[in-house]
Amino acid sequence: MKMKKVLSLLLVAAMSFSLVACGNNEDEGKKDSNATSENPTENTEETAPVELTEDADQYYNTYMASDPTSLDVSLRSDSYSSTIISNVMEGLIRLEEIDGRYVVSAGDAQTWEANEAGTVWTFHLGDNKWSDGEAVTADQYVYSLQRSANPETGCPNSFFLETLKNYSAISKGEMEISELGVKALDGKTLEITLEKPHPAFLEMCNGSIYYPQRQDIIEANGDQYGSEADKTIYNGPYVLESWTHNSKLVLKKNPNYWNAENVKMETVNISILADTATVENSYKSGDLDMLGVSSQEAKMAFHADDSSKYEYSVNSSVTFNFYNTKDVLFKNAKIRKAFSLAIDHEDINEMCFGGLRVPVWGWVAPNISVGETNFREASGEILLNQYQELIESGKTAKDLLLEGMAEEGLGDDPSTLDVTLSLAGTNDWFKTYGEYLQEVYSTELGVTLKIDFSDWGIFSSNLQSGDYQMGYMSWGAYYNDPYDVLSVFNSEYDQVGTGWVNEEFNTLIKEAGSEMDEQVRLEKFKQAEKLLFDEAVVCPLAAGTSHSFYKDYVYGYSTLSFSSNGYKDMYTKGRK
């Protein structure tokens, strides 16, 4: 890693953050026009701009790279499913983007309150209905939360319910599911009891795992529930009218939605398009109304299109390498740290991410805060600090590797090590990424790296069984709080699958999760993240970014990572 390059990147990143889009102004993202004519004979008389009205036919054409796996909120495990679920379902509250800021707004619950201790929350439901006309009730929320918490369901996101009273014991099979801290006081009143107060609980309720479910529909469809448009039921702004797998999904405005009068977009057509060239050509031809780019070349090309609006934002996801701390090699913290510090974050961003992401040196993404305090700014760049300390000590990453090998009795020749990187993909990008790390580890550590390519299902299964050495993934936060992303390393849940156990870390996370004093809470999170890097459990690489282009007739799209606006606030004006 080249220190001058890294430090200069920090300045660039800081400048980038100041340019993050934060609003839905109708003129936002348009190109500036030159006010002075180059032709002195040209008529420069000003004319009043034509005031456009909203289009009579409101539809939006967009795309996803892959088919959703399941619309069952208890079984959802991928971002594609989340995109659909968040538009066809409604939860207790909505975390909406209004004038560039997050605002907690009414959902199924029109009002709510907590007791003085912050441990008992009462939600008063409005008159929302399901797509078949049945009323949304408090009992349906009770059923949904109990179903997700039940270990027999196999909910991949059930640990997000750990704040609920008795969840921990229930998840271990030590207590009946009926003891979960949730009950219906009457048809329209839901009471949720927490194990301890949690300052981010209301924002957590924006997550899909807190959505209601219909027991009668789920039981009638069995394992097929959530797999087809007609085998799922909806209570959100849209219904899934049709689903042609691996081809197209069509959303239609839900007339039974409680706030239907404020949903302007009548139809959303979502094509499944994985090929970059196909996506770009579809946008150029007008078959798509938006486009996300992943290369500098595409970004510059579409910047030159005056019919497009460009939106840039840093999102809540972080790409990272991680280690199996139970592995015979990677059980040693010095060895793990060597593999982390051998990587030049600026270089990997340019070579593998097209220079479009933001290099990071901490686990918590740059846009996450504790109250009004940005966590990354308060905590600093931990990996960068470790590298500086390594330089000051006169050592290199290879020196750390050799020290770790000596401690484990593995000799002094790194080329003899058997090291395999597991990747959940077989396309050209994954091949490029694997080849890049092979070169880095050969040059910096003297290690010959092997690559194991597999699809997500096999990759995920190997993680759960501990059958891997090191891997690569991306992890995104569900809500704006460090607890969300740090708690995944609590050894009780171990969502990443590192096998790492640190009781001090577990205690800090649990204490921070219920700490109401923001400054104390911040300090506990900082200490916990430091432990994560002292033992080199993960190596974060870059924060995800969005480089999106919208046709100039599209308005009302959201730009903030955690907002739940979805398509419901979008509309078109001036489509030709």
Tokens 């506990």 belong to 524
Burial (CB < 10 A; 0-12, 13-18, 19+), residue 103, is: exposed
Q: How confident is the model at residue 295 (pLDDT cuts 50, 70, 90)?
A: confident
Q: Which amino acid is at 161?
A: L
**How far from 545 is each of 205, 316, 567, CA to CA, in Å?**
25, 9, 20
Mean predicted lDDT score pLDDT of the chain: 89
User: Same structural domain for residues 343 and 444?
Assistant: yes
Q: What is the pLDDT, as a whole number, of residue 25?
A: 32
Does residue 349 fall inside a structural domain? yes
Burial (CB < 10 A; 0-12, 13-18, 19+), residue 546, is: middle
Q: Which CATH number fits the domain that encloses residue 285?
A: 3.40.190.10
User: Same structural domain for residues 255 and 297?
Assistant: yes
Does residue 173 fall inside a structural domain? yes
User: Same structural domain for residues 212 and 353?
Assistant: no
Please choose, from the candidates 28, 4, 19, the residue with its C-alpha nearest in 3D space to the C-alpha of residue 557. 28
Res 72 pLDDT > 60: yes
Q: Which CATH number fits the domain that encloses residue 419?
A: 3.10.105.10
Select, from the ranges 151-165, 223-237, 468-482, the one with the highest average predicted confidence (pLDDT).
Answer: 223-237
Query: Average pLDDT of 182-191?
Result: 98
Helices (H) and strands (E) in the chain, counts: 18, 21
147: tokens are: 């179903």
Does residue 363 fall inside a structural domain? yes
Query: Average pLDDT of 38-50?
Result: 45
Does residue 203 fall inside a structural domain? yes
Q: What is the pLDDT, as a whole number, of residue 47?
A: 56
User: Same structural domain for residues 288 and 320?
Assistant: no
User: Same structural domain for residues 446 and 522?
Assistant: yes
How many structural domains does the chain have? Answer: 3
Query: Average pLDDT of 192-204?
Result: 94
Q: What is the pLDDT, as a whole number, of residue 48?
A: 56
Does residue 53 fall inside a structural domain? no
Q: What is the pLDDT, as a whole number, of residue 46?
A: 53
Q: pLDDT tens digits for 370-407?
A: 988 999 999 999 999 999 999 999 999 999 999 999 99
Does residue 2 fall inside a structural domain? no
- Residue at which a domain ends, from 200, 227, 254: 227
262: tokens are: 């404020």
User: Same structural domain for residues 86 and 210?
Assistant: yes
Task: Tell me the C-alpha distance between 423 and 208, whole Å.
Answer: 28
User: Same structural domain for residues 340 and 455?
Assistant: yes
- Residue at which a domain ends, from 208, 227, 246: 227
Burial (CB < 10 A; 0-12, 13-18, 19+), residue 517, is: exposed
How many Cβ atoms sit within 10 Å of the Cβ of residue 49? 6
Q: How confident is the model at residue 19 (pLDDT cuts 50, 70, 90)?
A: very low
Q: pLDDT tens digits for 400-450?
A: 999 999 999 999 999 999 999 999 988 888 999 999 999 999 999 999 999
Range of the domain at 401: 315-544
Whether the full predicted model's pTM is greater than 0.85, yes or no, is no
- Residue at which a domain ends, from 203, 227, 251: 227
Query: Average pLDDT of 128-154?
Result: 97
Q: Which amino acid is at 92?
A: L
Does residue 77 fall inside a structural domain? yes
Contact status, residue 124 vs residue 111, Cβ threshold 8 Å: yes
Q: What is the pLDDT, as a whole number, of residue 52?
A: 83
User: Same structural domain for residues 423 and 565?
Assistant: no
Res 307 pLDDT > 60: yes
Q: What is the pLDDT, as a whole number, of residue 11?
A: 31
Task: Tell me the C-alpha distance between 558 and 443, whole Å.
Answer: 43
User: Same structural domain for residues 201 and 76?
Assistant: yes
How many Cβ atoms sit within 10 Å of the Cβ of residue 133? 8
User: Same structural domain for residues 200 and 298?
Assistant: no
Q: How confident is the model at residue 50 (pLDDT cuts 50, 70, 90)?
A: low
User: Same structural domain for residues 482 and 531?
Assistant: yes
Does residue 128 fall inside a structural domain? yes
The three-class DSSP label of residue 310 is strand
Res 142 pLDDT > 50: yes
User: Same structural domain for residues 384 and 456?
Assistant: yes
179-182 contacts: CB < 8 A, separation 24 or more?
180/145, 180/146, 180/149, 182/141, 182/142, 182/145, 182/146
Annotate 227-267 with DSSP letters as a single string: SSGGG----SSEEEEEEETTTEEEEEE-TTSTTGGG----E
